[in-house]
Amino acid sequence: MNNDESQLDIASGKTRMEVAYGSGDGDDDAKAVVARKASLGVLFEQVYRPWNGDLGPRWVRNYAIFRHHVYGIFSSKGHRYYNPFVRLSILVIFLSSLTPIAMIFLSSTIPGEASEWLTRMWGINRYNLWGQVLGYYPRNLCMWPLLTALVVGGMISDDRKNGTSAIYFSRPVTRTDYTVMKFLSASTVLGFVIVFSYMLYYSTSIVFRGEGWAFLIDTLPMFLGGLFAGILLVFTYTSIGMALSSISQSRFFAAIAFLSIIFGTKLMAFLVEIVFETSILYMLSPYDSLAHIGQWLVGIPPNYDHSIAFSIVSILLYNAASIGLLVSRVSTLEVTRE
């Protein structure tokens, strides 16, 4: 009997096996006989079975992506996990955006000059409608950029980091559906806080003050202009944030990069305006371009010297570049992971 003992390196994570070859009957088969069970390692059998059932319609698969991200704000069971700090921050931002409603309610409960003063400060007029969405402080300085950074930070970067894109694309989900539903999920959260609070402010102000149809007709064009400006703000911030999330594997990088673009471009344009007394570089700032368009839509005097056309072109270029980058990066997401 010629014995041959084969040992594999255990330190490298491989299994040690002992085999023996006989020299008598049956040697022609030249088969190895395992002397004893492997001391390390487990043998798995992987069997792929085709799916013979009925697939859900396309809208169901897309809704599952939307639900996963939006419902995660309220419940993490089966949905995307949002850190409690993120949830608390979103709640604080939403409640802060509703503070004018409380002041309008207060003005409707007290008589005299105090009521008139509160109405002038917090009631419906061109400047307040514009400020409810695009006011520099505190909304576009503290609230909306932070809200966007918290929501879109890990929207795609987590999929790139953890390889969960392979789970999406292992189902009949196209990259177009994936991109659209991710974009829609983020914009829905932003829209609920920004646009919904704007609409709630306008409607409750009319109810609390007991205004009639004449007041509604007079203020409706201003309201619609501010509403379009709010929707444009949500779309622009979402496109920039999603593009930054798609190029990184870190939600922290995407959030900080978004805040840097918003605040950095504004600070640079502000310094140039102080030194050279020109506002042309504000077209590089997404916030200022949106504010300029919002002032034009609502009908208040602009704070910028350059033409409104520059701001419109700036917003179009920002959105086109961001969406183009987003689509390009999504096309490189992995389909399978071993």
Q: How far apart are CA 135 and CA 23, in angstroms?
A: 91
- Report the C-alpha gap between 249 and 23 in whole angstroms: 59
Stretch 93-121: mean pLDDT: 87
Chain position carrying tokens 């992987």:
46
- Tell me, what's the pLDDT at 36? 52
Q: What is the pLDDT of residues 189-209, one digit of tens each?
A: 999 999 999 999 999 999 988
Q: Which of 151, 145, 149 is nearest to 82 (CA)?
A: 151
Structure tokens at 184: 């829609």
Share of the chain above pLDDT 90, in %: 52
* Model pLDDT, residue 44: 64
Whole-number pLDDT of residue 168 = 79
CA separation for the pair 290, 134 (Å, rounded):
8
Q: What is the pLDDT of residues 161-193, one digit of tens each?
A: 887 777 777 777 889 999 999 999 999 999 999
pLDDT of residue 5 exceeding 50: no
DSSP 2: E
**How many helical (H) and strand (E) elements, i.e. helices and strands, does the chain have?**
13, 3
Q: What are phi and psi of 10, to 5 degrees?
A: -70, -35
Q: Count of alpha carbons within 13 Å of 96, Cβ hemisphere only? A: 15
pLDDT band at 14 (very low <50, low <70, confident <90, very high): very low
Whether 239 shows a pLDDT value over 70: the answer reads yes
Say how far apart CA 286 and CA 319 lie, in whole Å.
Answer: 10
Q: Which residues of 142-162 are buried (b: 16+ CB within 10 A; e: fewer)?
A: ebbbbbbbbbbbbbbbbbbee
Q: Tell me, what's the pLDDT at 137?
A: 76
pLDDT above 50 for 214:
yes
User: What's this model's pTM, rounded to 2 decimal places?
Assistant: 0.81
